[in-house]
Every structure is written in C-alpha cells, then in structure tokens.
Amino acid sequence: MSSTQKVFEHHLACFAAGDLEGTLSDYTEQSVLMTPLGAIRGLPEIRKFFEVAYAEFREPGTQFTTHLMLVEGDCAFIAWDAETSANKYEGACDTFIIRDGRIAVQTFSAKVTPKRAT
C-alpha cells in the first residue's frame, strides 16, 4: 500500500471518528488547505477549520455519502455529499497532495446550501 493511500485512509478514518488530533497529525506547519473562502495555512489555522467542521459534522442526524475515492501517485481524491443539521453539501470534493507521509496541500469545494430555521 502506498504512503499516499495510508495517509488518505488515516485522514478519512480520523474525520469519521471526529479525531481532531489524529487529523492534525496528517498535516505540517507548511500545509495549505484551499477552500472557496481562501487558503488556510499552518497547523493553528487548519486546527480552527477542523474544529468548526467537526462541530457541525458530529451533530446527530448528519448523513455523509461517498461517491468516489481515487489514489494516484501522491494525489488522492474524494467526491461526496452530506447533510448536517445546518447545511446541505452537494457535489463536494477534496483533493490531497501527499508528500513525505503528510498532506502538503488539500483542496475543498462544494455547493453548500444553508438550511433555514423552522
């Protein structure tokens, strides 16, 4: 199994478990997470991003559907949809560039539709 595959599987397992420290162990201080709202650089900022994400995705009733996972060389990709108590995520995808056993660059994109309060 490739290092890319191992890091990718570890990252997904940590996300599913809500394991923030395990997730952060996949990144370095030089890692960059690119989102539609801008680039997030370094462990303190990546930590803040995942603290918010885990708070939302750990809510009861969250549904997550994986459509496709690919690993090729130092690149991994996942396409997914999700629905949380706050938002609906459609056409979501993450791409990871993994170097030396850590995520060097991650991109995230999705159509995020906020749910209206009833």
pTM value surpassing 0.85 = yes
- Torsional sign, CA 61, 18, 95, 75: negative
User: How many domains is the chain built from?
Assistant: 1
By residue range, what is the domain housing residue 16? 3-114
Could you read off the pLDDT of 30-80 as tens digits, one per residue? 999 999 999 999 999 999 999 999 999 999 999 999 999 999 999 999 999
Q: What is the CATH number of the domain that holds 49?
A: 3.10.450.50
**How far, CA to CA in Å, does 53 sit from each of 32, 58, 65, 75, 100?**
16, 8, 16, 23, 26
- 20-35 b/e (C-beta count within 10 Å ≥ 16 → b): eeebbebbbeebbbee
pLDDT of residue 1: 57
